[in-house]
Amino acid sequence: MATETEIRFGILGCADIANKVSGAIKLAQNATVYAVGSRSLEKAKAFSAANSLGPNVKTYGSYEEVLDDPDVDAVYIPLPCGLHLRWAVLAAQKKKHILLEKPVSLNVAEFDAIVDACESNGVQIMDGTMWMHHPRTAAMREFLSDAHRFGDLKLIHTCFSLACGEDFLKNNIRVKPGLDGLGALGDAGWYCIRGILWAANYELPKTVIASEGAVLNEDGVILSCSASLHFQDGKIATFYCSFLSYLAMKITAIGTKGTLDANDFVVPFGDKPHFTTATKCWFNDVHTAWEPKPIQHPIGSDDLPQEARMVTEFSRLVREIKKGSKPEKKWPMISRKTQLVIDAVKASIENGFQPVEL
Amino acid sequence: MATETEIRFGILGCADIANKVSGAIKLAQNATVYAVGSRSLEKAKAFSAANSLGPNVKTYGSYEEVLDDPDVDAVYIPLPCGLHLRWAVLAAQKKKHILLEKPVSLNVAEFDAIVDACESNGVQIMDGTMWMHHPRTAAMREFLSDAHRFGDLKLIHTCFSLACGEDFLKNNIRVKPGLDGLGALGDAGWYCIRGILWAANYELPKTVIASEGAVLNEDGVILSCSASLHFQDGKIATFYCSFLSYLAMKITAIGTKGTLDANDFVVPFGDKPHFTTATKCWFNDVHTAWEPKPIQHPIGSDDLPQEARMVTEFSRLVREIKKGSKPEKKWPMISRKTQLVIDAVKASIENGFQPVEL
């Protein structure tokens, strides 16, 4: 049973990702899975059993029942993003704090409606971008913010691709216009764009231009695309996201005084992932090698995976709100900016790869 | 003195890079520095002394004298690329084989004139792109060609940047329209574009689009730019080259079944550089780590640095020609394609970042 200080989660829907996040809620010291709702009670019960949520977890045959349970503090919403507007707004109206899977919505107008509902009802909203919460991310941020070691940001390149099989490309919700209608852009591209905005300290680009060569399925859902983002001060970012290429999740940032790389920024290779920096390097006398060489920085995660850290941070904020604090606006702000750039890339693809001003 | 089987090099000009390449000629078993020419005899003598070329090396106070020396088999031309047309054509007419520094010319029409002169006179031409000759490059090529481990190429990203000081940005030949007038595009960008073409097995893109945000100096020389290359089969490449960002030289290739990375593809970090591949990776059950993890492949260079390997291969070809073989056409072919893409990027910048068809 939940203790006094644990935030009690209701899970809306039994998507694959909910297995990982329910595990994260169990790992988080300040949270507990309190209820699971599905469109069918059997599915909710099966999910609870498969994830060993224990006999005390409530199971409901509808999402409404989860929202109507007065003991639920917060909901985790892993539903297809086409359903986010409806269920997130309703959750906010029921005073439930919201951990919302990405992409947060089909477009920024929908997300604004969700945020309005959260603000009116005084509830926290945070998106489910797990890597933001890894201690490596904070260490990388520290490097990027170092005027001596990194200097001014000039270029960011990110990619996230995964080679999806035939079944996925025909049947997965991520390729269905009515469900996760943003396809690879909303799924893999979300991380690429978040990585860029994160590196740029959440400055928005002034122009976004999708690259020719985007691949759409017969329903017009994006399976693969790339784009460049152009910022006021001249810095440039490019990204590539795809369901049609092999697994890759890389971020490179080049400043005036250093560079940063991580090849596993979304899901770390293992327990002690690293990032690589170069600073004050040049060549040896005969220009045949670097001196000094770039440095690898391994970062442990204290045995708590990034998704459990995400739940912990979200639950901490909810706890603070229960004690009288205001919701943390940083999280919806960065969700919104990510969505705004997604919308711009999509618009650029739709208008024949013309620039879109933000 | 040169042995019977050593190719006797004349060096035209005492550019910085000639120090490295004269050292490479000394290291190569089948080549020797035979003569050095400069516009001033003093400079030629000083270069010879600084590089310990020995008392037998001839020094000339003009380039013509090097070309008129009947004992010179081949010339290394490190002159600014604005002078390549004149001196490379003359060298070919004098039956000298040519190792030509990159960028090979100011535009592809000039390079075609150089190649015509080489073909008419039966001499070999090769550009000075050293990394092509590192054994790592062959090992990476083998991975990219592996249908099972890498599959079909989908994305290439390369970058080469170096943060040049104020003096360089004011006075270096690489920022002077009359000298190396292609600026960062011809210098750093050469490697980026060559890396892309190499990864694509020298298939040319059908369209090249420079990105907004290119930085030009007051004389119109490119200091920083990026572009995307679009291929017939849908694969995409992007690159970034700059004199205004920190030292970086990265290549990433993503296929349908694997990925490849090297962060030092132009000048290796040290004696035993590596490249990294991922293939047959996915996540563990709870999606918190990769299984298996990507693999690092360290490659030694047998103590012979890549620039000495370049000289060795060039000299081997010259030796074969002396014995009756025809010049190897691969080398001018890949130089020409690299130049063609450089021209297209430049044209795209000049026409306001519009697509340029190749």
CA distance A131 to B348: 37
Q: Which two tokens stand for residue A181?
A: 């209608």
For residue B325, the SS3 value is coil
The upper half-sphere exposure of residue B26, i.e. CA atoms within 13 Å in the direction of its Cβ, equals: 13
Q: How far is A97 from chain B (nearest CA, A)?
A: 25
What is the topology classification, in CATH, of domain B7-129+320-327? Rossmann fold (3.40.50)
- Interface residue of A17, A254, A274 to substitute, partner B, most B CBs within 10 Å: A254
Q: Which amino acid is at B328?
A: E
Of B155, B245, B267, the CB nearest to A254: B245
CA distance B313 to A152: 41
- Interface residue of B288, B301, B307 to substitute, partner A, most A CBs within 10 Å: B288
Please provide the DSSP assignment of A104-136 as one string.
--SSHHHHHHHHHHHHHHT--EEE--GGGGSHH
Which residues of chain A fall short of a pLDDT of 70?
Answer: 1-4, 301-302
B306 to chain A: closest CA residue? A288
Q: Is B139 on the interface with A (CB under 8 A)?
A: no
CA distance B191 to B128: 11
Cβ neighbours of A19 in B, within 8 Å: 286
A199-248 pLDDT tens trace: 999 999 999 999 999 999 999 999 999 999 999 999 999 999 999 999 99
Q: Which amino acid is at A168?
A: F
Q: Which two tokens stand for residue B345?
A: 């990027």
Q: Which amino acid is at B10?
A: G
Q: Where are the domains of chain A?
A: 7-129, 132-305+339-357
* Tokens 């190569």 sit on residue: B28
Provide the pLDDT confidence category of residue B300 given band limits of 50, 70 and 90. Answer: confident
Is the CB of A212 less than 8 angstroms away from the CB of B228? yes
Considering only CA atoms, give the Rg of chain A: 21
CA distance B199 to B68: 40
pLDDT confidence of residue A288? 86
Q: Is B270 on the interface with A (CB under 8 A)?
A: yes
Q: Is A305 on the interface with B (CB under 8 A)?
A: yes
Report the pLDDT averaged over residues B9-30: 94
Q: Which amino acid is at B310?
A: M
Q: Which residues contact B323 (CB under 8 A, 6 or more apart)?
A: none
Within 10 angstroms of residue B295's Cβ, the number of other Cβ atoms is 12
Cβ neighbours of A259 in B, within 8 Å: 246-248
The upper half-sphere exposure of residue A259, i.e. CA atoms within 13 Å in the direction of its Cβ, equals: 29
pLDDT confidence of residue B301? 63
B203 touches B231 (CB < 8 A): yes
A157 touches A252 (CB < 8 A): yes
CA distance A26 to A312: 10
* Tokens 């380039």 sit on residue: B63
A266 touches A160 (CB < 8 A): yes
Within 10 angstroms of residue B194's Cβ, the number of other Cβ atoms is 26
Q: For chain B, give me the number of helices (H) and strands (E)?
A: 11, 18
A147 touches A119 (CB < 8 A): no
CA distance B287 to B298: 29
B251-290 pLDDT tens trace: 999 999 999 999 999 999 998 899 999 998 899 888 889 9
Q: Which residues contact A46 (CB under 8 A, 6 or more apart)?
A: A14
Q: Which residues contact A55 (CB under 8 A, 6 or more apart)?
A: none
Q: Which two tokens stand for residue A171?
A: 């049947």
CA distance A310 to A312: 5
Q: Which residues contact B257 (CB under 8 A, 6 or more apart)?
A: A163, A246, B147, B148, B149, B150, B151, B279, B280
B127-145 pLDDT tens trace: 999 999 999 999 999 999 9
* Average pLDDT of chain B to the nearest whole number: 95
Cβ density class A225-258: b for 16+ within 10 Å, e for less: bbbbbbbeeebbbbbbbbbbbbbbbbbbbbbbbb
CA distance B89 to B303: 35
What burial class does residue A153 get, using C-beta atoms within 10 Å of its C-beta: 0-12 exposed, 13-18 middle, 19+ buried? buried
Is the CB of B256 less than 8 angstroms away from the CB of A245? yes
Share above pLDDT 70 across residues of chain B, in percent, rounded to a whole number: 98
Q: Which two tokens stand for residue B277?
A: 């591949």
For residue B248, the SS3 value is strand
Number of residues in chain B: 358
CA distance B16 to B12: 12
- Interface residue of A20, A136, A154 to substitute, partner B, most B CBs within 10 Å: A154
B53 touches B34 (CB < 8 A): no
Q: Is A236 on the interface with B (CB under 8 A)?
A: yes
CA distance A326 to A332: 13
Q: Which helix (H) or strand (E) holds B238?
A: strand B236-242
Residues pairing with A125 in the sheet: A98
Is the CB of B261 less than 8 angstroms away from the CB of A256? no
B89-120 pLDDT tens trace: 999 999 999 999 999 999 999 999 999 999 99
A91-122 pLDDT tens trace: 999 999 999 999 999 999 999 999 999 999 99
Q: Is A271 on the interface with B (CB under 8 A)?
A: yes
The upper half-sphere exposure of residue B255, i.e. CA atoms within 13 Å in the direction of its Cβ, equals: 23
The dihedral built from the CA positions of residue B162, B164, B170 and B173, taken in this order, carries a sign that is negative
B75-86 pLDDT tens trace: 999 999 999 999
- The domain made up of A7-129 is a member of CATH 3.90.45.10: no
A245 touches B255 (CB < 8 A): yes
For chain A, the straight-line distance linking the first and the last C-alpha, in angstroms and rounded, comes to 48
Measured CA distances, A292 to A302, A355, B288 (Å): 30, 41, 33
Whether the link from the prior residue into B103 is cis, omega within 30° of 0, is yes
For residue A75, the SS3 value is strand
Q: Which helix (H) or strand (E) holds B308?
A: helix B306-322
pLDDT confidence of residue B3? 62
Assigned CATH for B132-305+339-357:
3.30.360.10
* Tokens 């209608």 sit on residue: A181
User: Annotated catalytic residue: which of B94, B102, B250, B337?
Assistant: B102
Of A154, A228, A263, the CB nearest to B211: A228
pLDDT confidence of residue A302? 67
DSSP letter at B95? T
If one compares B320 and A284, the residue with the highest pLDDT of the two is: B320
Please provide the DSSP assignment of A183-227 as one string.
HHHHTHHHHHHHHHHHHTTTPPPSEEEEPTT-EE-TTS-EEEEEE
B58-71 pLDDT tens trace: 999 999 999 999 99
pLDDT confidence of residue A303? 79
Number of residues in chain A: 358
CA distance B191 to B129: 8
Q: How large is the ipTM?
A: 0.94
pLDDT confidence of residue A177? 86
B286 touches A23 (CB < 8 A): yes
Cβ neighbours of A267 in B, within 8 Å: 283, 287-290
